[in-house]
Structure 1
């Protein structure tokens, strides 16, 4: 049941389609960026993956996942008896496989990091001058009636600029980046009236200054504005190739369980909110992340007839507004809604008892 000491809380999940109105890149835009890169290794990876996979299961994240696995495999091939934790079970068969490149020494990790940095810069370039006013107007209307926990799967900072949010980071001051308040976050993330969780990272996330030992404050800090580029990475957690301010590729849920600051804390807050909160808005989300989908399914089981779910997506499948579910599709599914009647309809539906 929802907490009685606060106003009703709404869990909002934002997918890539939620910021297209502000010129944020779509998955297809990022695909086009990566697939046109002239690096010979990346071109080879793209070509081979295209031959293997259907179009539905092939995008830039498949390329990043392949580069990570290729790096583990190539290092195991070069150092067959070292690095016991690298390469997975297929590492035992490296001698049976040919070299991927003529040198057999392709810097797959470096290529992967270059791609992530390129994606980060691309998102910044597309959105740095975009207005957050439409997002602000929509969320201001919701704030009048509800507390909000917004889980964004997008890298852009449009939502950050749309109002005052609590995201667990201490505000940056005097050109220093803000560090994560891991001690206060678990409680405050359930109490603050406007909570923001960048579950897959942000263009404002970066690394603290280099140190030969892991930072006690975590591997990720937050700038007060978007930061271009991807600095040298630091100390990876077990099972994570490199810490990163942006999560992309395969196995995103590894970061949720092993890269605690901030992603582990964020995922835990998302789960807690899904368990306690019967009201959900899902906007512009295509359903491609199983670590999110699993808890949307669980939300239905937990809350049953009490749940109120609004799905806002122009390409959503048609279904009747029943059993606590409202779907806005077609022209009505463009996010954020910009007419007062639609916003009122959403608020009234969420308030229905």
Structure 2
């Protein structure tokens, strides 16, 4: 997914969470994905209070959106650098096309992961099932993962993975990135990541409690999709993101009276200086400026360019917004 803000803020990312802020609950801000009828998303990362959880640097939560009435998601070809996009749906259907030649459907409960590396472009559009049925409400999350500098220039790639949900007392767990310990079970994903990561969907029945084993050196985020959940003594409401500092070998989740569904994210503190602006991640002002200039020249029409081209039937690509009148500075 693209950030469609016409005046995106500079985001300086990196650094470790202070110990005195061991648990932080972030409230989302409402962001439109383009024009007056555009679908709106709830964004918790990046925020003023927190920019990253491990390498996770962007969290959009959206829906349920009645696609037949609103038009759903329509994001023309746009670029990315030095990150991976993680697409996860609870309902609905999205068609993904990218400049590696991939044309794939994003389906509920199945991971689509695109690695941008040096540069890639892609489009994302809500579609209806092929059986003539009306489109289901679009409901899901779009997340980005920053690539470490040693892997920032890898070639673009795409992976798909359909994790098998594992039944646990009072619920189920689907681990789509990394590895998670639940009781005597270790649930792992084979998908390629460039830093240690955790990504899992956890569904709990009303009042159920679940304890999961996590890496003590990782920080974690709990994004609430439905209901309410207790996390480390804090009550977290729908669409909020609870962020937890390193130092926990286990994490207990307690569902509210209506049950809950959450995404559990994790990874070691990123520990590098990066700057994120629009759809680009760089290590310097010059890197971001260069990426923007090359995209403006190519705009998804040069298959031999840095970002490549997408066979997109809906028209033109997204132009990059104007850069701010200040120098972009990394921090961390």
TM (normalized to structure 1)? 0.28
Larger-Rg structure: 1
Greater fraction strand: 2
